[in-house]
Structure 1
Amino acid sequence: MSHILSAVAWPYANGPRHIGHVAGFGVPSDVFSRYMRMAGHDVLMVSGTDEHGTPILVAADEEGISARELADRNN
Structure 2
Amino acid sequence: MEKELDEISAIEEDKRNLINLIAFYEKKDMNGDLFQVIYNNLIRSPDTFAPYLENLEDAENTIRTLILAT
TM over 0.5: no
Q: TM-score normalized by structure 1?
A: 0.34
Q: Which structure is higher in strand share? A: 1
Q: TM-score normalized by structure 2?
A: 0.35
Q: Which structure is higher in helix share? A: 2
Larger radius of gyration: 1
Q: Which has the higher contact order (CA 8 A, sep 6+)?
A: 1
